[in-house]
Amino acid sequence: MAEHRTMQRAALLEAARTLLSEGGTEALTFPALAERTGLARSSVYEYFRSRAAVVEELCAVDFPVWAAEVETAMERAEGAEAKIEAYVRRQLALVGDRRHRAVVAISAGELDAGAREKIRAAHGGLIAMVVEALATLGHEQPRLSAVLLQGVVDAAVRRIELGAAEDPERITEAAVAMALRGVRG
């Protein structure tokens, strides 16, 4: 029975990812989750008490996986500048990934304080990975530099997500160039 519940919970999260990546936060409704999974709407409430609870669980499950991919790319890179480049490139390479799209849709949504705090904590972990590389390069305020660097990444993510006129590869190269010029001071 517990295994069946685990499978249904996983199916609900998968449906939530799809809804978020297709239609943003507005698309994530309990009737839509019920329809996508073939469960009764009342059954969806047995797993999650609210949309925010669905979002919190998605963040708890997906963000660490996504962050680990960025961390792995950074660990493979030799030297501080290469680590920063890997940090930017890996995040932008993950834009098409549905887990990432869901997290992006969530970040933009109106969520309760608990869900927002989980996202902030996960983002903080991601930024902490690059602070060390910036400190190695001699930045006096590596934390501030890391936050600003993430701002460049976030802007590039939004540009790619919007299907901007530029090719995603071009956006990535421009973001990498800007980041590396910026970190060299």
- Beta strands (DSSP E) in the chain are none
Three-class DSSP category at 34: helix
Residue that is written with structure tokens 């705090």 in the block: 117
What percentage of residues in the chain have a pLDDT greater than 70? 91
Give tens-digit pLDDT for 38-61: 999 999 999 999 888 888 888 778
Q: How far is CA 66 from the centre of its chain?
A: 7
pLDDT of residue 108: 54
Our CA dihedral for 79, 84, 88, 89, rounded to 10 degrees, sits at -10
- Between 26-35, 131-140, 158-167, the lowest mean confidence (pLDDT) is in 158-167
Within 13 A of 151's CA, how many CA atoms are on the CB side?
7
Q: How far is CA 13 from the centre of its chain?
A: 15
Residue that is written with structure tokens 């902490």 in the block: 128
Sequence-separated (6 or more) residues with CB below 8 Å from residue 156: 88, 92, 171, 172, 174, 175
User: Of 160, 140, 162, nearest to 152 (Cα)?
Assistant: 160
Residues 21-47: what's their mean pLDDT?
90
The mean pLDDT value of the chain amounts to 86
